Amino acid sequence: MSDMFGNSIAALGDALRNGETTSVALAEEANDNHDRHGATLGAYKSRDPDRFLAEAHAADAAFAAGIDFGPLQGIPVSVKDLYGVNGYETCAGTPAPLPEKWEAEGPVVGALRQSLAPITGKTHTVEFAFGGIGSNPHWGTPRNPWDSNAHRVPGGSSAGAGVSLCEGSAILALGTDTAGSVRVPASFTGNVGIKTSFNRWSIDGIVPLSPSLDTAGVLARTVADAILAFAVIDPLTDFPGEALLEGLGDVGPSDIHIGVCDQFFDGCDPGVAEGVKAALDGMTAAGARVSAIALPEATEADEIFMRGGLAAPEFAAFINGEMLDRKATLDPNVAGRIDSMEAIPAIDYLARGERLRHLSMSLEDRMADVDVVIGPTVPITPPTCDAVADPEGYRVHNMGALRNTRTANMLNLSAVTIPVALDKAGMPVGLQVMAPLDEDERALAVALAFERLLGTAMDRIGVPPMCKG
């Protein structure tokens, strides 16, 4: 058995356990896929194929000894270059490695280790994760594989994560999300992305951007795959992966009450809102309840975000403290905002945090009558690198990319994005499911109901043109 593109984690797991394939065979296929596409797509900051194969051998040895560590054993996983990973330097998108302490593994990577999931390498990130486009002047910008003609951005800040899934060098990808940095690249590359609830997964062992907003997350090719990964990593889930997947699968369209907020659909690029509305119509036809909902809290949170939110002053403090030696070499798109970040008074920063707490509580009450709120994940088509080359073009597209995702971070929601369509430019469209804090399973259950009704990304939008053959 081979073809990692065409098989789920569950199917690959069955094949690993009944002897139809091996983890080494999957690793070799992943390496072959990277050899075929890697030079063009540029997903990785660093790879160690020998280390990757050695970890695959360890997974096979455990299977041979009758030891089973769960659904991710033997499954190739890429890791964003903000996470510490033994044997790899951590650059966090900067020109040179960070101090050795940032190579130490935290609990999220530790969960992969305990599962014997081989790590394929470390994927590119926007410098210090401060941006939603995915560009990096130091190491290059990974190419979005959905456009064979133009170099379009992959979304950020987990810029290489979704690309690694598309090229078939990984089956899962670890990312981080502070304003959309898992969901934007997942949406732009036609993958599933989970933004976990704040404080649900530890951010120890991850280079910080904004400790008040940072969350760890995962990208996958299907919701079912993402749920299995979630079960392995999540410290609050009592069910093994297969049991969690089965339980969430019991939620059908007729069990779901969806809130739809017009502001997430306004001003979308051609084909984006239409693709999400078509998916929503399918759920409605299958029995889901849909109600309009207004979210004035999101509007006020956006205003705070546009003034720098919490991330800008927290990042400025990190740069001017522990990372002061990196300030002179910052990406111009990051450095250009430093002056305004540093100018935010402490009293304003504290007032913003307090106001966002009140808005979060108000939003939780407002969402009590619906199960989830749904809208387009990203309202814009992935821009070309040329379109974001100048500061103004970058600013406009960066704000556009984060417009719908930042709500979940600023207002303490959990969120999942799933691919549902292609827009008028032939680029993937994501549908975002947002649920209250610590209701991650609810968001996943609704996303899974969409996937089971409408099909996976492979069913609906196919394979990226640059990854065929």
Task: Catalogue the active-site residues.
Answer: 80, 157, 181
Give CA–CA dist 157/314, Å, rounded.
Answer: 17
34: three-class secondary structure by DSSP: helix
Please give, one letter per residue, the 3-state secondary structure of 147-190: CCCCCECCCCCCCCHHHHHHHCCCCEEEEEECCCCCHHHHHHHC
d(CA 375, CA 84): 34
Q: Which of 47, 49, 43, 10 is nearest to 29 (CA)?
A: 49
Element (H, E) at 77: strand 77-80
- Cβ–Cβ < 8 Å for 120, 29: no
The whole-angstrom separation of Cα 185 and Cα 212 is: 22
Q: Helix 272-285 crosses helix 440-454 at what angle (to 10 degrees)? A: 90
Q: Which two tokens stand for residue 202?
A: 């530890």
| Gyration radius (Cα) of the chain, Å | 20
DSSP characters over 302-322: HHHHHTTTTHHHHHHHHHHTT
Pairing of strands 119-123, 192-195: unpaired
DSSP 251-285: --GGG-EEEE-GGGTTTPPTTHHHHHHHHHHHHHH
Q: Which residues pair with 175 in a beta bridge?
A: 217
